[in-house]
Structures are given as structure tokens and as C-alpha cells.
A and B are shown apart, each in its own frame.
Chain A
Amino acid sequence: MKKNLMTLAIGATMLAGPALADLTFSSLSYRTGPYAANGIPFADGYADYFTLLNERDGGIGGEKINLVECETGYNTEKGVECYESTKGTGALVYQPLSTGITYQLIPKATADGIPVHSMGYGRTSAKNGEVFRNIFNYPANYWDGASIAVTHLADLNGGDLSGKKIALVYHNSAYGKEPIRTLEELSKKHGYELSLLPVDHPGQEQKSQWLQIRRDKPDYVLMWGWGVMNQVAIQEAVNIRFPMENFIGIWWSGSENDVLPAGEGAHGYKSLTFHNLGQDYPLYDDMKKYVVDAGKAAGAGDQVGTVLYNRGMYAAMLAAEAAKTAQGIHGTMTLTPAQMRDGMEALEMTEAKMEALGLPNFGPTFNVSCENHGGNGFGAVAQWDANAGQWGLITDYFQSDQDVIMPLVAEDSSAFAAENNITAGCN
């Protein structure tokens, strides 16, 4: 009996453990907790893309993909636990989906030689690959976002923002404070007046901030929010009758979840994005055929085509393309995290490549290099159409103000290198 139990236990362990020949990707997801409504579509998109590759293509380069998902609840401590408990599975890259978790993983993953892709979040100056050797944040970061918003506003005003008033409503955390320095630098260049309105976590009560906006009458409001803060801010803006077309959120403040509770009042609200929207792409036909209709979707299949689902899918697509690049560089189909890092550092996203994948114009074109782990800083502006119930791009992808961003990246990354005794370089 004991022998049988032992055999059963060993068998179960072998089944539960990673198949070492597979390409293992880790998904630090949050399907529970206060941010689950946002975490679920991202995690579904991330998982479904890999499922599609397995079902349609047999994996990447003939190697099946093994996705290891770990629930963080958007909690930094749990995120670190997830990393520690899954890094032994041979995970090629981590997508922490949290700025707090990313900050904790930067030293750990660097020491372990495992790459981290904090796509559009995390530490902005990780763009400098000479300092942050294992951290990538392409295709755009928070400072790019701040600059893209200001450039868009400048475009609306014939290139002249002098004398305009811009208010930043932000989550009072490291994440929310990220754009402040950039916006201050940009205000010197463009001559607008910047006012800062922090919101306490979680952001359910914002009356003070919106009364101040009503009194000060800024021309534009930018928002760096997440979770319930977004929904409340949009509702408060509706309540004070702030013109929604003058209200722009960062890409983490621009999903269906953020605008639907405010109903028709949210019509015209804008958000930044670094990927395209909707599901009018050939790839979604395959997604439906091989994943959703086959009953292999990660969730209920009801998130396909939403903003955050697309973002998760885009993250998985970039990971898969980096893995293909790594396979090409090293001439092997099985990869190590170090080889994956090389692939990420040599990643080139071209329009031809996206079209071949069935995702034409789905994201900006960009190249990654040792010096530049953050892509080219391209983003676009989307606008919510409450009548149609969907987001749509209202601009092409355009580049952030590199003259302002790059010195800030250099300054911050140099400080990090000095604090941590890192010798910057590509060797």
C-alpha cells in the first residue's frame, strides 16, 4: 500500500512539475482582489496567445509552451513569493504586471539572470539596458506616456501650450508619481502651468480633488490611476461637467472597466495606449477557432477583444517573438533565460512581422538594443465612444519627446547604478 502511495506521489509530482523541454513562461497574474477586474482580462490574453501558438503552430519553433501562472492578488509580497516559487520551473521571462513587484524583482531577477518585461509599467529608467541588464520595458514607459499626452495637447493647440493649465490627478504612490518629473520638465519647455492633485489609495473618495479642479478650471486633466480610482475620477469629472475630451488617462486608466460605470457621461474620455484596440484582426479568427471555440480559453472567453485582453495578448506576442529571435541567435529551439534575454535585446518589431502574425498595425514598430531596453517610445491616443461602447484610436502612433526623456532616463539610471555599484555597459 505504502509503495503504491509512493508511486502515486512521485507520478503526481512528475505530472505537476515542469516539462523541462518546454519553453516555460511565467504569468504573475491577479484574478482575485481589488484589481481582479483588470487582472483577469490581461491574464486571459497572455495565456490565450500561448495556447493559440501551442494549438495552431505546435508551440514556438516546435517547442511546446508551458505557461506557469501564479496568483499575486496585486500584492507585492505575494508577487515576490510567486517569483521565488516559480523561478525553478525554468521560466524564461517574467511579466510581473505590477510596478511594486517589478521594483522588488529588479535586483532578484538580475542576480538570477532571468529577464523581466515590465511592459508600460515598472521602473521607467530601466529603459537604459546598460544599467538594467535584465529588465525591459518596451515599447513605452510612463515618461513616454506623459510626453505623448503633452504632445497630443500641443497638437490640439497649434503647438502652443503656453498659458494653459494642466492638472495631474494621480494615485499617491510610486506609480502615480512617476510622470511628475517629466511633466515638470515639459512645462518648462511648453510653458504650461502644472498642478498636482494626489489621491489617497484606493481612490474611492475624490471629492476634494474634483472640487479643486472645478475651482481652478484647468484646461486639461491628466490621470495616473488604477482600479477604483479610475472609475471614481471619471464619474466625478462627469459630475462637475468637466469636458471629457480634455481628460486624458495613462494606458492603465483606459479600459472598458474604467468608463462603463459612468455610462454615457464618459463619452469622449481619452486614454493613451501603446497597442491597438478591438478584435478586427486576422489573428482573432484563429483565436476563436483554436482557443475559444475549442474550449481552451484561459477564462470564460468573454474578455476577448477588450483593451486589457489585447494588452495581455500583445505582451505574450512580444515574448513569443523574443523567444523566436533567441532561437535564431543561438541556433537552438530550447532556451535558457540568458538566451531569452539575448532574444529580447535583439527584438525587432516591424510592420511586416505584425502583419504576418495577423496583427497589422497592432503596435508601434520598434527595435530593442543593449542601450535601449524601452523601445522607441511610441504611443497613440484613444477615445471612448459611449454610444458604440468601444474605444477607438484617434491618432497614429507617435514618438515621445526624446530630447526631454533621454536625459531623465540617463540621470535616473546613473543614480541607480551608483547606488548599486553597477558598472554600466553592454559586456
Chain B
Amino acid sequence: MPDQLLFAMEVTLNGLMAGVLYSLVALGFVLIFKASGIFNYAQGVMALFAAMTLVGIQKGQVPFAHLINALLGTEVHHFGWHVPSILAILLTAGVMVVFAWIVERVVLKHLVNQPDIILFMATIGLAYFMEGFGDLMWGADIKKLDVGLPQGINIAIDDTTFGWFGYGFFIDNLDIVATVIAILLVISLTVFSQYSKQGRALRAVADDHQAALSVGISLRFIWVLVWSIAGFVALVAGIMWGAKSGVQFSLSLIALKALPVLMLGGFTSIPGAIIGGLIIGVGEKLFEFAIGPLVGGATENWFAYVLALIFLVFRPQGLFGEKIIERV
């Protein structure tokens, strides 16, 4: 088999894996948009905050330590314990539920019946608040995330493909784990929304707020629920991306990777977020591989947004989004 074809196959596989990571971020956006029509600008910052909280809890870091020390003249930094990863993840998920409840009580409750743009602006404010709050709570240093996820080349795939083609493919173990987790997440979300009472209520709210309210569904409960789930998805995305780069402010910028995925897959479709992510992932990697060297490289972000723009022209609702027809 020609080398270039082998390389292209390797790039495609890695593109699929990268696409899964993009999808993980996009999922959080879709959940909130689907249930409340809000484009949650703070989703990236939620991933950052969740990851910071996870590391903080795991390492027994005292929240607001710098502030406490500055105000009281103390020298407290750590509680002196180390929380096991699983427990730390569960506790962080709990923190994200509390966060969702606070967002509903402090922000969303007061903006019921306001235009979507007001809610969008509120999430921008929330993002800026969370950025500062997260730094104040856990510090701005780069934290190593260690929850036992495997990283580095998968030897089995490397050996197997070498046996087949004489060239071993590189697949990152972390990407494989991310793929498995993303599949489990999507199955769980699907089962939850199809078969649970709360899930059906969530779908009812997504279809029609007024009708859902008229049959006694609590909009406020649904908002807390959906922001909690989005918070959990943000935690998963934060873990996966944080394992690659350490937990740091830049994690909030992963939202930039989700936007073209959403434009492509549609803002209201969970399968759309997955398929969109895979298309963007494979497309940008193959484009960079085939065309990048001819035009100076670094084409990935450019390609993702151009592809999304092309889809906007021909299919504004995205591949799987709902077509909204408004009569004038």
C-alpha cells in the first residue's frame, strides 16, 4: 500500500478521535439550547471550572486560599488529604449541580420570557464571572490532571497495523478512552430522555415551553436539570482536554472548537453534535494533511469554520437541526 494512503488512513482515524473530543464540548451546548433556546456562551468556562474543581477537590486544595490568606494573614493552602479520583469526580458533579441551581436562582429565574438575546448576553456575563471566580477559588496556576487516564501511543494498534501494512498507526490511548466515554454518554442521554419521566419532561419543554407548562411541568426544575447535565458533560470534556494540556484557563477556549461542530450538526441535535464533530475532525485533519503543506499549514481552524459556513449557506439549520419556519 502506498505510504501516502497509509498516512491518510492514520490521519483519518486520528481525525475521528479528535472529532469525538469536539463533540464532547458541543454536547453541552446542544443540551441547553435544546431545552431552553439559550446559546450558553459559558459552556467552555464551565468545562474549565469543573476541571479546576476536580483537581482542587482531589488534591485537597483550600478554596479561596489566596483570598483567605490575604485577608486573615493565615498560611492555609491544603487540607492535607488526597481524594480518590472517582469520589472527586462525583463530588465535582455535585458541585456542578449546585452551580446549575445557583444559575437558575440568580440568573435564569429573573429572565423568564425575555428575548433569547438577553439570555445569551446573560451567559456572556456568567462566563466572565466564572473565569474570575474560578481563578479566585482555585488559583490561576496550571494544574496537572491525574485521574488515571491512560495516555500515549496504543501499542496494540501500533503493532497490529505494523503487522498488516509495515507501518504502525499512532492512536492515543486517551482518545480511545474519550471515544468510549462519549459513546456511553450519548447512550445514557438518549436512554434518559426517552425512558425517564424527567427526560420526557425535558423533551416536552424542548418542544414547546407553554404547552409543557400547561400540563404542570416545572420549567425551573427542567432548567436546573439541564444545566446540571450540561455541567456534567462539561466536567467530562474538561477531564479529557485537561489531561492533554493540564487544567488551565485555555480550557475555556475549547468552546471555539465546538462552534463549527454546532453549525454543521445543528444546535438542537445530540446525534448532530456527534456526527458534526466527526466530520469536522476528519475534514480538518485530512485537509491539513493534503492541502496544508501547499498553503503554509495551520489550516485546521480555518477549514472547520469555512466548512460550517458552507453548510450555513445550503442548510442553515445544520445537518440534523430543526428547521424553524416563522410566519410573518
B interface size (C-beta, 8 A): 44
Contact B298 A199 (CB under 8 A): yes
Q: Any chain A CB within 8 A of the CB of B60?
A: no
Given A204-B250, A204-B254, A208-B11, A32:B285 Cβ within 8 A: no
Provide the residues of chain A in CB contact with B296, threshold 8 Å: 196, 198
A residues 196-252 with Cβ under 8 Å of B? 196-202, 204-205, 207-208, 211-212, 214-215, 227-228, 231-232, 235, 238-241
Contact B140 A211 (CB under 8 A): no
Provide the residues of chain B in CB contact with A33, threshold 8 Å: 249
Instruction: Tell me how far the C-beta of B58 lies from the nearest C-beta in chain A, rounded to whole angstroms.
Output: 15
Residue of B nearest to A227 (CB): B250
Residue of A nearest to B284 (CB): A208
Contact B300 A36 (CB under 8 A): no
Contact A215 B253 (CB under 8 A): no
Contact A231 B253 (CB under 8 A): no
Contact A37 B142 (CB under 8 A): yes
Instruction: Tell me how far the C-beta of A292 lies from the nearest C-beta in chain B, rounded to whole angstroms.
Output: 12
Contact B300 A34 (CB under 8 A): no
B residues 280-306 with Cβ under 8 Å of A? 285, 288-289, 292, 296-298, 300-302
Q: Which of A37, A199, A300 has the most CB of B within 10 A?
A: A37
Provide the residues of chain B in CB contact with A32, threshold 8 Å: 131-132, 135, 140
Residue of A nearest to B73 (CB): A295
Residue of A nearest to B254 (CB): A204
Q: Any chain B CB within 8 A of the CB of A40?
A: yes
Q: Any chain B CB within 8 A of the CB of A31?
A: yes
Interface hit among B102-110, B226-234, B239-247, B260-268: B239-247
Contact of B249 among A34, A172, A232, A241 (CB under 8 A): A34
Q: Any chain B CB within 8 A of the CB of A263?
A: yes
Complex-state Cα separation, A198 to B298, whole angstroms: 5
Given A36-B135, A214-B170, A231:B246 Cβ within 8 A: yes
A interface size (C-beta, 8 A): 40
Contact of A205 among B18, B131, B153 (CB under 8 A): B18
Q: Any chain B CB within 8 A of the CB of A372?
A: no
Contact B246 A200 (CB under 8 A): no
Given A32-B135, A208-B285, A228:B245 Cβ within 8 A: yes
Q: Any chain A CB within 8 A of the CB of B326?
A: no
Contact A34 B250 (CB under 8 A): yes
Q: Any chain A CB within 8 A of the CB of B69?
A: yes
Q: Any chain B CB within 8 A of the CB of A409?
A: no
Given A204-B244, A235-B245, A238-B152, A172:B140 Cβ within 8 A: no
Instruction: Tell me how far the C-beta of B125 lies from the nearest C-beta in chain A, rounded to whole angstroms.
Output: 16
A residues 30-44 with Cβ under 8 Å of B? 31-37, 40
Contact B69 A300 (CB under 8 A): yes
Contact A241 B153 (CB under 8 A): yes
Contact A200 B11 (CB under 8 A): no
Complex-state Cα separation, A227 to B246, whole angstroms: 11
Q: Any chain B CB within 8 A of the CB of A261?
A: yes
Q: Any chain B CB within 8 A of the CB of A260?
A: yes
Provide the residues of chain A in CB contact with B66, threshold 8 Å: 300
Contact of B253 among A37, A172, A204 (CB under 8 A): A204
Provide the residues of chain B in CB contact with A261, threshold 8 Å: 142-145, 245-246
Provide the residues of chain A in CB contact with B289, threshold 8 Å: 208, 211-212
Instruction: Tell me how far the C-beta of A172 lies from the nearest C-beta in chain B, rounded to whole angstroms.
Output: 4
Instruction: Tell me how far the C-beta of B18 lies from the nearest C-beta in chain A, rounded to whole angstroms.
Output: 6
Residue of A nearest to B256 (CB): A202
Contact A211 B11 (CB under 8 A): yes
Provide the residues of chain B in CB contact with A227, threshold 8 Å: 250
Contact B298 A215 (CB under 8 A): no
Complex-state Cα separation, A110 to B244, whole angstroms: 43
Contact A207 B18 (CB under 8 A): yes
Q: Any chain A CB within 8 A of the CB of B248?
A: yes
Provide the residues of chain A in CB contact with B34, threshold 8 Å: none
Complex-state Cα separation, A382 to B135, whole angstroms: 30
Provide the residues of chain A in CB contact with B253, threshold 8 Å: 34, 202, 204, 228
Contact of A172 among B241, B250, B298 (CB under 8 A): B298
Contact B132 A211 (CB under 8 A): no
Q: Any chain B CB within 8 A of the CB of A75?
A: no
Complex-state Cα separation, A235 to B285, whole angstroms: 19
Provide the residues of chain B in CB contact with A265, threshold 8 Å: 152
Complex-state Cα separation, A40 to B131, whole angstroms: 16
Contact A211 B170 (CB under 8 A): yes
Q: Any chain B CB within 8 A of the CB of A390?
A: no
Q: Any chain B CB within 8 A of the CB of A257?
A: yes
Instruction: Tell me how far the C-beta of A199 lies from the nearest C-beta in chain B, rounded to whole angstroms.
Output: 6
Given A172-B298, A200-B300, A207:B245 Cβ within 8 A: no
Provide the residues of chain B in CB contact with A34, threshold 8 Å: 248-250, 252-253
Contact of B248 among A37, A200, A208, A214 (CB under 8 A): A37
Q: Which of A215, A238, A265 has the most CB of B within 10 A?
A: A215
Q: Any chain A CB within 8 A of the CB of B120?
A: no
Instruction: Tell me how far the C-beta of A38 lies from the nearest C-beta in chain B, rounded to whole angstroms.
Output: 9
Contact of A198 among B11, B140, B245, B297 (CB under 8 A): B297
Residue of A nearest to B247 (CB): A261
Contact B142 A231 (CB under 8 A): yes
Complex-state Cα separation, A260 to B83, whole angstroms: 20
Leading 6 A-B pairs by shortest Cβ distance: A261-B246, A228-B250, A198-B298, A172-B298, A36-B140, A208-B288
Beyond A37-B142, A196-B297, 20 extra complex contacts between A and B, CB < 8 Å: A31-B140, A32-B131, A33-B249, A196-B296, A200-B298, A200-B300, A200-B301, A200-B302, A201-B301, A202-B250, A204-B257, A207-B172, A208-B288, A211-B14, A231-B248, A235-B151, A239-B152, A239-B172, A260-B142, A263-B146
List 24 A-B pairs, Cβ < 8 Å: A32-B132, A34-B248, A34-B250, A35-B249, A37-B248, A196-B296, A197-B297, A198-B296, A200-B298, A201-B301, A204-B254, A208-B11, A211-B170, A231-B246, A239-B151, A239-B152, A239-B170, A240-B153, A260-B142, A261-B142, A263-B144, A265-B152, A300-B66, A300-B69
